[in-house]
Chain A
Amino acid sequence: MSKKLHWEDFEVGFFGSFGPITVTREDILDFAREFDPQPMHLDEDAARDSMLGGLAASGWQCCAFLTRLMVDGWLLNSTSMGSPGVEEVKWVTPLRPGDVITLKATITSKRASRSRPEMGICFFDLEMVNQRGECVMTLKNTQLYERRHHEVEPSAETAKGGRA
């Protein structure tokens, strides 16, 4: 049997802390130049005068780093079938050059897929924290994983797949 994490292996409650990743100034500038070239993500002086109060990462880069923490933390060691979406993201504290970020993951609930017996669903509350213990962002996310025993009783109807 595969040692990878299946849906059955995820338990409701605190799941773990993952990381850290150190975010460099070059990381922030590289991402901003390509995807979010606003002065507050590119220029120290403009950033100081903005709501961010200093150079800070694009919020979308924060989401990307949060994903990296999940991928390295457990997704690569899992039967992940991806994610249909994100219920809510709050950007709480700016992510600054030199920040060291970790991820706290909690599973709030889980259920089997109604339409796909090979798949189960986990609902995660994710929090990115910096080296000062401040919450950088929160993210509520639905994640799909393979189930261990779905292959026991396949049927023509369920093999067609479909929405969760």
Chain B
Amino acid sequence: MIYVTYLEDLPLRAPVVLGSHTFTAEEVKRFARKYDPQPFHMSEEGAARSHFGRLCASGWHSAAAWMQALVAHRSESAAERTARGEPVAQLGVSPGFRDLHWYKPVYVEDTITFRSEVIGTRVSKSRPTWGIADYYCTGTNQNGDVAISFISTCFIERRPANRGCSEPLP
């Protein structure tokens, strides 16, 4: 529920599994042709001659798959809350992220499980109806190794009663 509840209701340091994705050779090559046509992302032969050894996904493909998992997870969570008659907080844009690490290559047929946890919240100074949350995000492969991690920042709605108030969060 960490992407559908109001800023004030976000649980800190509680990792949530967003979903998993298995990377196929077809989609790894398709992403690479459009955005990252380096030999180790384009073909098995090119990868075999590189320091990676085997065909692996562009690092941005791994990051995009995290976003894909987030959006799917958020849709499901929003539907559940709506079904229970609970409000769904709007998710705003992201101003950016930091500390992105590609620890391990994501090889073809790897299954990456994506997780996020809230590590900090604050009220937006420029948009007082909104809060800002920092999320620690990871993608872990089938061997339990973290392949990618980063800290993403996102605008998320505040509780209706608090919007416009500038006092710090409880």
**Interface, chain A (partner B; CB < 8 A):** 31, 34-38, 40, 50-52, 58-61, 63-65, 67-68, 71, 75-76, 80-91, 137
Contacts and interface: CB of A to CB of B under 8 A. Distances in A.
Query: What are the 6 A-B residue pairs with the smallest beta carbon separation, nearest first?
Result: A64-B35, A35-B64, A86-B100, A85-B101, A90-B96, A51-B93
Given A71-B38, A76-B37, A91-B94, A63 B155 contact: no
Interface of B: 31, 34-38, 40, 51-52, 58-60, 63-65, 67-68, 71, 91-103, 150, 155
B45 to A, nearest CB: 16
Given A67-B60, A90-B95, A75 B38 contact: yes
B63 A68 contact: no
Contact of A37 (B71, B98, B102): B71
Of B51, B58, B65, the most chain A CB neighbours within 10 A belong to B51
Main secondary structure on chain A at its contact with chain B?
mixed
Contacts of A37: 71
A91 B93 CA distance: 10
Contacts of A60: 60, 63-64, 67
B64 A64 contact: yes
Given A35-B65, A76-B38, 9 more contacts: A35-B67, A36-B68, A51-B92, A60-B63, A60-B64, A63-B60, A64-B36, A71-B38, A84-B103
A46 to B, nearest CB: 11
Given A86-B100, A89-B98, A40 B93 contact: yes
A35 B94 CA distance: 15
Contact of B35 (A52, A65, A76, A90): A65
B38 A87 contact: no
Contacts of B65: 35
Contacts of A76: 37-38
Contacts of A80: 38
Contact of B102 (A38, A50, A83, A137): A83
A91 B96 contact: yes
B102 A85 contact: yes
Contacts of B155: 51
B10 to A, nearest CB: 19
